[in-house]
Structure 1
Amino acid sequence: MTLPIYQVDAFTAQLFKGNPAAVVPLESWLSKEEMLHIAAENNLAETAFFVKSSVDYELKWFTPLVEIDLCGHATVATAKVLYDHLGYSESEIRFQTNSGLLTVRKDGKKYTLNFPANVPYAESTPEGLLEYLGVGKALEVLKGRTNDYLVVLKSEAEVAALTPDFRALKSVNARGIIVTAKGDEADFVSRFFGPAVGVDEDPVTGSAHTVLVPYWAEKLGKSELFARQISKRGGELWVKLLGNRVEMSGEAVMYLKGEIFLP
């Protein structure tokens, strides 16, 4: 049995930048165990699998360790595969997911996601969190309903300089840790750490921006913002708050196309 596989660098216009994701189109669903094996073998932050339904597409995402409920960059990667390689030509793609209906439209070179907003709320700081991050003091520590903590620092330089203790950070009961600050050139910057789900640092994290956009839209008093995720690979997002939804736009670059051989 063979399956097609694509690899796409998302939220970037440059190859070897942004966030790489694998995309596996399916005629029908594999078992969860098989999809986890493929994701672990790919050893990327996310592998997306999709199946055409009668009207929409069903979409699932896996890290090397677990299935997750929301992923932005692998959704961008999936949209690029559909539009540029599988002949999709409608103005919008509808994905049915564990997080409900998600849509993507192509705007020139950019792919625009429409995701539910995830307004962060005040939460006590887990024991050891700041220490494991290597942070002396945070301006705020909040939490999103995706079980991500949002740690706000004073400057972009502080965010860029972080060298977390990933083994210790893995013990924090959270999907991931978003660290952010007002940007020097961008409206805001961020990094995302998810050792508990098998991703020490995610290069560019669309789902984190469902938390970041409502936070910074309120802080900066505007609904349209430009964001940078300042990981080693780096990525750029043009984002917009639309009531209880968040739009995120970014480019994507195809890296490879191949085949998976299954027994």
Structure 2
Amino acid sequence: MPRLTLRKVNAFTTGGVAATGNPAAVCLLDAALLGSMPDSLRQSIAADIGLSETAYVEPLDAASSPGPDVFKQLDTFRLRWFTPAAEVPLCGHATLASAATLFTECGNPAPTLHFHTLSGILSVTRQQHGQQQLLRMSLPLSTATDPLPPQLQPPASCSPAAAAAAAAGNADPADPSGDNAAAFSQLFAESPRLTELLYTALSALPSSAAAVPAAPDGAAAAADKAAWLSHVVQHVGYVAPLKYMLVALQPALQLGRQGLEALALDAVALEAAGSADYMGGLIVSTLPSTGEAGGYDFHSRFFGPWLGVPEDPVTGSAHAVLAPYYAAVLRKQQLFARQCSARGGDVWMDAAAQPGRVLVSGEAAMEQTWEAEY
């Protein structure tokens, strides 16, 4: 049975405070350990640890890279991520946590680390941002413009407006008025499974906040739920490779950070309203309310009960989806955002520095190191 050294690292912290951000477990696997770490054991360990992700870092060529010093000497590694339920194709915060472990715990002097992953090669560079030491990741840019999955599509006999909205989301997210708003309203009216999924997620929005209309009762007719959603939702988009759905709330609701933090979503009900066949995560986002402090460009939360993650505290991969959307909405490429989970965290983005990529940056703080035998 292998004896492993595991580290808990908080990524995307607020001001470097360890109790904020998103915790990930990081496990470094040298040549001596790789032979005793089948995928089934990696998954079992991730489930036992119970964090949203456990990252496994290993040399690309274990045979030619013996010994524990490999993690100090090399700048290129293989990286895999496991939730408590499954291996996932992309995880930003566990990538940040892995780089922080190599830089700070292993003393790796490389200016940039490169990770071979299921989403291609991801690079992480140290970056000074004023008084803050950030880690900057280059992630694949993911535009939420894929067709909705077949299970959430309206019927073939639907209206042209609903079909257009389901096929590619809002063609111009910077202009959600007029025909675009009408198309989403029609989509909700004609796609009952999508309506039920979004109603389940959003019906707990605080109706006491500003202009949020009270949600209809859960037993209400689908048409009533669809009508309510048309007042609450500005945009719906889908990223097929990640199975992520992006929902942007109407700015007129004036929810801001406080309102989004107050969303008391039922993750069990949300899981039942969708399926892991087509849902990997639901991103709910909003603009700041008028006069809100903090300097943030937008706020978000991420829910992934279909992969064993009821809510992810801060999600790097989600910001590779959010960045291009809000870059279009706000007409700016450098963005600063807050993910409004209970732990919360800050994320910096550059949507234009590299073609087809998003630079996603944040702080990281080491919290705990322990050994365990599996």
- Bigger Rg over Cα: 2
Q: State the shift of 1:87 in Å.
A: 2.1
Cα distance, 1:128 vs. partner?
0.9
Assess if the C-alpha contact under 8 Å between 1:132 and 1:166 holds in 2: no
The worse-fitting range, judged by mean Cα deviation, of 207-216 and 168-177 is 168-177
Q: Unaligned 5+ residue runs, structure 2?
A: 62-73, 146-167, 170-186, 189-193, 204-227
| TM-score, normalization by structure 2 | 0.68
Give the Å deviation of 1:162. 1.4
Q: Which of the pair is proportionally richer in helix? A: 2
Task: Please give the per-residue CA displacement for 1:152-200, whole angstroms capped at 9, x wherever unaligned.
Answer: 1133244222122212211313001000011243101000000000011
Runs of 4+ with deviation above 2 angstroms: 122-125, 134-137, 157-161
User: 1:103 aligns to what?
Assistant: 123
Counterparts of 1:119 and 1:196, CA distance in 2: 21
- The answer to whether structure 1 residue 244 and structure 2 residue 356 are counterparts is yes
For 1:251 and 1:167, how far apart are their aligned partners in 2?
A: 31
Identity fraction in percent? 39
Aligned residue among 57, 64, 70 for 1:50: 57
Residue 62 (str. 1) matches residue 158 (str. 2): no
SS at match of 1:120: coil
Structure 1 residues without counterparts, runs of 5 or longer? none
What's the offset of the Cα at 1:134? Answer: 2.8
CA distance in 2, matches of 1:152, 1:162: 14
CA deviations 1:126-154 (Å, max 9, x no partner) are 24122111344311111123111111113
Counterpart of 1:11 in structure 2 is 12
| Residue 253 of structure 1: aligned partner | 365
Comparing both structures, which one devotes a greater share of its residues to strand? Answer: 1
TM-score in terms of structure 1 length = 0.95
Distance 1:49 1:239 in 2: 25
Q: Which moved more, 1:198-207 or 1:179-188?
A: 179-188
Structure 2 distance, partners of 1:238, 1:127, is: 32
The number of equivalent residue pairs is 262
**Residue 201 of structure 2 corresponds to which residue in structure 1?**
133
Matched, 1:160 2:261: yes
Partner of 1:116: 140
Query: Which stretch of the first structure deviates more once superposed, 131-140 or 240-249?
Result: 131-140
Answer yes or no: is the 8 Å Cα contact 2:143–2:325 preserved in 1.
yes
Task: Give 1:223's aligned residue.
Answer: 333
CA contact (8 A) 2:327 2:335 kept: yes
Contact 1:94–1:102 under 8 Å retained in 2? yes
Deviation of the 1:33 alpha carbon: 0.7
